[in-house]
Amino acid sequence: MVFPTASDWSGLAERSVVVSFIDLNLRGAGQVIFQDNPLTGLLFLLAVIWGAGAAGDPGVAIGAVVALLVANLTAMLLAADEGALRQGLFGFNGLLVGAAMPTFLGGTPTMWVLLVLGAAVSTVVMLAVTAVMRTVGAPALTAPFVLTSWLLLVAAYSLANLAIAGMGPPALAQAPIPAPSPLAGAMPLMQAWLKGPAQIFLIDDALSGVLVIIGLAVSSLRAAGGALLGSAVALGVSLALGADLAAIAGGLYGFSPVLTAVALGCVFYPPSARAALYTLLATILTVIAQAALAAATAPLGIPPLTAAFVLVTWLFLLARPKL
Amino acid sequence: MVFPTASDWSGLAERSVVVSFIDLNLRGAGQVIFQDNPLTGLLFLLAVIWGAGAAGDPGVAIGAVVALLVANLTAMLLAADEGALRQGLFGFNGLLVGAAMPTFLGGTPTMWVLLVLGAAVSTVVMLAVTAVMRTVGAPALTAPFVLTSWLLLVAAYSLANLAIAGMGPPALAQAPIPAPSPLAGAMPLMQAWLKGPAQIFLIDDALSGVLVIIGLAVSSLRAAGGALLGSAVALGVSLALGADLAAIAGGLYGFSPVLTAVALGCVFYPPSARAALYTLLATILTVIAQAALAAATAPLGIPPLTAAFVLVTWLFLLARPKL
Amino acid sequence: MVFPTASDWSGLAERSVVVSFIDLNLRGAGQVIFQDNPLTGLLFLLAVIWGAGAAGDPGVAIGAVVALLVANLTAMLLAADEGALRQGLFGFNGLLVGAAMPTFLGGTPTMWVLLVLGAAVSTVVMLAVTAVMRTVGAPALTAPFVLTSWLLLVAAYSLANLAIAGMGPPALAQAPIPAPSPLAGAMPLMQAWLKGPAQIFLIDDALSGVLVIIGLAVSSLRAAGGALLGSAVALGVSLALGADLAAIAGGLYGFSPVLTAVALGCVFYPPSARAALYTLLATILTVIAQAALAAATAPLGIPPLTAAFVLVTWLFLLARPKL
């Protein structure tokens, strides 16, 4: 038996419209963590499917795949830039909207209609955010996912045919109660560390995190290492600052710092000691921004999603340090 | 008896400073829904005056007219662009600030002072937002109205000499209670449909809505049709999603989608099947954005105003689809 | 005995690395109110040290000085623009972050670590905000201070190793109770007037306010006059609008209007009657914006900081009136 190689696949994608469409959707999945690689995308999708299945919530995986397809079809209808389309840049925000909707809303027919609509809208928002950020020379990152999802999720508090599930209720933040230092034994450190990369896809599963890391590794060992380091830094910093232990254990303090670490450490700056230090500062700040956004979104009853990553990475890109 | 024609009026406006000033104020009223037409503006003002009178609240009409004049005078003092001034582009945000203040605050002397100040400020904000949005090639829309009014209205919670009336109290959103499907008979569909266009001017009156539609029709039949279609889409979508029935009946789910429909369907894109579909998607999203902003502004105790229209229309303009 | 003159000092700063570093840090303190002058900066620091000492809270002064140094060292490490660095433009936001952290958070070791981190981050945010605002031709003002501090302060509600002190608890705003007109005798007008300039540095002390004014005067008599006038306008307007008397007495309605008055009246526009009127309108609006932001930040339990100044001054600069 002969495995198809990457160049076999590329050749197929050029000759066949169907394979080309599959290819750009797989790349779209890969672009969630900056990888223009269909095999990476396939492994990311497997991570989502495994995690959703293990949690008994297949809707998250179905939503992610449906929304990925809809977002890319919308980009084709809008005659979006061909090159960006082929690199999967119109898919990743849709995929995330599609994973978020069934995570935070009940599976009513209205939710599924809005999931499809939200996926289409994510492409419009991607085009708009890209146009705005181009004027300052920065990419859209996952801002279209965050904006679109926040709009749909907070609307659920006004719309009776959507069911709130897995978020809220809206509440004012309270001064946290200093907890006794957690025993290392009581905190499943390894689980928390691996769930960070999985939670990028809203999946609460360590094995999914391993699949995400493998997906990164087949495309870029450096990105896989950056993700593991970013998750480790997030784990240490969130424990040291006294963040909520259940949130840490679920990987909720890890996913945004992982994205920041990969973006700044492995994508946008060439490797150097100063770039590494700069990325470390940004990764630590992303943990604090995650804590900030958790408190700031509480009165609205919505999740922070990847807003901490977007905010910090934008700041650290726009600063344009001479690295 | 001979009615003056449009060209008679234009001639008068060129020869007389007074007529010219009246003309640009009427056009300012017309620009609330994108019409550079003094007769349209006159009909819009009549809609406001009728609606305010019918509700026994003449302050809204007086506020609207006073603020319209102040906003335009401020633009003259600041030597703003002559062409934009003559087209009424410095009037419409002021008019809306002047209608909003007496709608949401009690008629204290302090309110009237701040109404005049807010009208002047709306011109400064219009200049600023226009300068910023020019860098990305989009117009200010009613963002200056929203920003200025939010600032003044939320300040009322800190200022004892302003009286809260018609908004608030600040409250956390709650998961909505699924209501039994409304009987068509119980919902005054025709009223809700016509109140949508009226609520653009913060008027809760179906006959005012008819005057607004007539005002649009004398300038552009297409815009009048777009407004009626937009209001109908908003009515259907908000009912289908289970939005609050009292809000729907009052036209509160209609005004922002009407503006989106006219903006995208009749002003910024040439007519085509694809542009119509694109506008439909934006109009539906504006209903959802209205629901989202109603929930998101609840903890501050302020109304969403036309923020849903501004947000969605900006996104759908900035995306620059090839239509 | 011969006092060193300004040119002696400049000469020293050019020859000695140490004096040069001291010089740019003093200028950094001066830039809090737009003065590129080391003596002004020294007097501002004395105002902070005096005020913090008088309140028995030396942490505020220590935090301000440490953060000033860290912010400037970070700018050197990031190879930021040499000219801007020498003018102190990378110091003032750090200084303010360093004063804010011990004002609103308890003096835990974690707070001090985050203060140093926040000071470094303030330089990154300064670079980023400067890059973004350059596209519309406006300066960063104290936006980097506000953004960085809000992020750190609201995060404290999620982080048990930070202690909330001097802000919050998060609360929904309530309609204010109309109070009987305050007797002039009951309100320490002179104190409130002088505390305005001091509260720019988060210092609640009238003598510190005098030191701030003297610091301005040695650099620019016009700026000193503008600050005193701005504080007087803020006092009158906030009393007339019925703002909270304790907040007025503490100078909390004065600091942002002082900054607006100096910025628009003494820095960005040449003197003229129209510029004075324009500045007056902006200063009055800043009082209202302060009231608005006090209500708007209440549900998050964080202070408005200088956001009212930043918002209003940006609007009045971006409007680009022909003055």
Q: Choose among A243, A265, A264: nearest CA to A254.
A: A243
The pLDDT of residue B12 is 86
Residue A170 sits at the chain C interface (C-beta within 8 Å): no
Report the percent of chain A where pLDDT is more than 70: 96
Q: Which residue, A271, A262, A284, A268, is CA-closest to A319?
A: A268
Q: Are residues B322 and A79, on separate chains, in Cβ contact within 8 Å?
A: yes
Q: Which residue has the higher pLDDT, A210 or C4?
A: A210
- C271 to chain A, any CB pair closer than 8 A? The answer is no
Q: What is the mean pLDDT of chain A?
A: 95
Q: Which residue has the higher pLDDT, A7 or B153?
A: B153
**pLDDT for residue C198 is more than 70:** yes
Residue bearing tokens 């105002």: C47
Q: What's the Cα-to-Cα distance from C227 to each of A177, C205, C256, rounded to whole Å?
A: 42, 16, 10
User: Does residue C1 surpass a pLDDT of 60?
Assistant: no
* pLDDT at position A2: 62
Contact B256, B290 (CB under 8 A): yes
In chain B, residues with a C-beta closer than 8 Å to the C-beta of A120 are: 281
Shortest Cα distance from A145 to chain C (angstroms)? Answer: 21
CB pair distance less than 8 Å for B301 and C173:
yes
d(CA A166, CA C268) in angstroms, rounded, equals 50
A169–chain B Cβ distance below 8 A for any pair: yes
- Minimal Cα–Cα distance from C292 to chain B, Å? 4
A43 to chain C, any CB pair closer than 8 A? The answer is: no
Cα(A99)–Cα(A116) distance, rounded to whole angstroms? 12
Per-residue pLDDT, averaged over A151-174, amounts to 96
Distance from CA of B249 to the nearest CA of A (A): 15
CB of B1 less than 8 A from some CB of A: no
User: Chains that contact B by 3+ CB pairs under 8 Å?
Assistant: A, C
Instruction: Give the pLDDT score at A187.
Output: 76
pLDDT band at B105 (very low <50, low <70, confident <90, very high): very high
Beta carbons of C117 and A242 less than 8 Å apart: no
In chain B, ranges of CATH 1.10.3430.10 domains: 9-155, 189-318
Say if B64 is an interface residue toward chain C (CB within 8 Å). no
Cα–Cα distance measured from residue B26 to residue B10, given in angstroms and rounded to the nearest whole number:
12
Of B276, B309, B200, B184, which Cα lies nearest the Cα of B235?
B184
Rg (CA), chain A: 19
Here the tokens at position A277 are 């230090």
Query: Given a cut of 60, is residue A184 above it in pLDDT?
Result: no
Cα–Cα distance measured from residue B62 to residue B95, given in angstroms and rounded to the nearest whole number? 10
Q: What is the rounded average pLDDT of the residues B116-145?
A: 98
CB pairs under 8 A between A and C: 116
Q: Confidence class of residue B176 from pLDDT cuts 50, 70 and 90?
A: confident
Of the candidates C156, C160, C164, the beta carbon closest to that of A179 is on: C160
Q: Which amino acid is at C94?
A: G
Helix or strand (DSSP H, E) at A99:
helix A92-104
Average pLDDT for residues B115-140, to the nearest whole number?
98
User: What confidence tens digit (pLDDT) does each residue in C228-242 have?
Assistant: 999 999 999 999 999
**Mean predicted confidence (pLDDT) in C281-292:** 98
The tens digit of pLDDT for each residue in B72-89 reads 999 999 988 999 999 999
Reported as a single tens digit per residue, the pLDDT across C18-66 is 999 999 999 999 999 999 999 999 999 999 999 999 999 999 999 999 9
- pLDDT over 90 percentage in chain C: 89
Q: Which of C136, C175, C292 sits opposite B155 (nearest CB)?
A: C292
Instruction: Annotate B235-251 with DSSP letters as a single string.
Output: HHHHHHHT--HHHHHTT
Per-residue pLDDT, averaged over B236-242, amounts to 97
CA A59 to chain centre: 17
Q: Right CATH number for B9-155 from 1.10.3430.10, 3.40.50.300, 3.40.640.10, 1.10.1740.10? A: 1.10.3430.10
At residue C176 the predicted structure's pLDDT band, cuts being 50, 70 and 90, is confident
- Chain C partners of A291 at a C-beta cutoff of 8 Å? 155, 158-159
Min distance B47 CA to chain A CA atoms (Å):
29
Architecture of domain B189-318: Orthogonal Bundle (1.10)
Residues of C in contact with B170 (CB under 8 A): 172-174, 299
Residue pLDDT, tens place only, C76-122: 999 889 999 999 999 999 999 999 999 999 999 999 999 999 999 99
Testing the interface with A: which of C151, C172, C174 to mutate, by most A Cβ within 10 A? Answer: C151
* Shortest alpha-carbon distance between residue A293 and chain B (Å): 15
Look at residue B185 and tell me whether its pLDDT is greater than 60: no
Contacts of C151 in chain A (CB under 8 A): 285, 288-289, 292
Min Cα distance C112 → chain A (Å) is 12
Nearest residue, CB atoms, C172 vs list B110, B128, B299: B299
Q: pTM of the full predicted structure?
A: 0.96
pLDDT at C185 over 70: no
Q: Per-residue confidence at B3, pLDDT binned at 50, 70, 90?
A: low
Contacts (Cβ under 8 Å, ≥6 apart) of A37: A27, A30, A218, A219
pLDDT of residue B181: 59
Contacts of C175 in chain B (CB under 8 A): 156-157, 163-164, 168-169
C315 touches chain B (CB under 8 A): yes
Interface contact C173, partner B, CB < 8 A: yes
CA angle C309-C315-C316, nearest 5°?
Answer: 85
Residues of chain A with CATH 1.10.3430.10: 18-155, 189-318
B79–C288 C-beta distance less than 8 A: no
Which whole-number Å values give the CA distances from C188 to C223, C240, C250, in the listed order? Answer: 24, 15, 9
Joined together, the tokens standing for residue C82 give 């040499």
Percentage of chain C beyond pLDDT 70 is: 96
Given an 8 Å threshold on Cβ–Cβ distance, is C131 in contact with A135?
A: no
Cα dihedral B81, B82, B84, B89 in deg (nearest 10): 100
β-strand partners of C164: C105
Separation between Cα atoms, residue B68 and residue B42, nearest integer Å: 12
Q: How far apart are the C-alpha atoms of B212 and B196, rounded to whole Å?
A: 10
**With an 8 Å Cβ cutoff, is C17 touching chain B?**
no
Tell me which chain C residues have a C-beta less than 8 angstroms from the C-beta of B108. none
Q: At residue B43, does pLDDT exceed 70?
A: yes
Q: What is the homologous superfamily of the domain A18-155 according to CATH? A: Ammonium transporter AmtB like domains (1.10.3430.10)
| Cα angle C196-C198-C201, degrees, rounded to a multiple of 5 | 120
C154 touches chain A (CB under 8 A): yes
Distance (Å) from the C-alpha of residue C160 to the closest C-alpha of chain B? 25
Longest Cα–Cα distance of chain C, Å, equals 62
Judged by a CB distance cut-off of 8 A, whether residue A157 touches chain B is yes
Closest Cα in chain A to C124 = A319
Q: Quick one: DSSP state of residue C2?
A: -
Chain C closest CA to B129's CA: distance in Å?
8
Residues of chain B contacting residue C241, judged by C-beta atoms under 8 Å apart? 110, 159-162
Average pLDDT, chain C: 95
Q: What is the pLDDT of residues A26-74, one digit of tens each?
A: 999 999 999 999 999 999 999 999 999 999 999 999 999 999 999 999 9
Contacts of B294 in chain A (CB under 8 A): 158
In tens, the pLDDT along C205-222 reads 999 999 999 999 999 999
Q: Could you tell me the two tokens for B89?
A: 């582009």
Q: Please determine, for the modelled complex, whether the ipTM score is greater than 0.90.
A: yes
A124 in B contact zone (CB under 8 Å)? yes
pLDDT of residue B177: 78
CA distance A22 to chain B (A): 24
pLDDT-derived band at B13, boundaries 50, 70, 90: confident
Which residues are CB-neighbours of B56 under 8 A, at least 6 positions away?
A: none
Any idea which of A139-153, B164-178, C281-295 has the lowest mean pLDDT? B164-178
CA atoms within 13 A on the CB side of B311: 20
Helices (H), chain B: 6-15, 17-30, 38-54, 58-77, 82-86, 92-104, 109-134, 143-155, 189-199, 206-219, 221-241, 245-249, 255-262, 273-297, 307-318
Chain C residue with CA closest to A275: the answer is C78
Report the distance separating Cα A245 and Cα A266, nearest Å.
Answer: 29
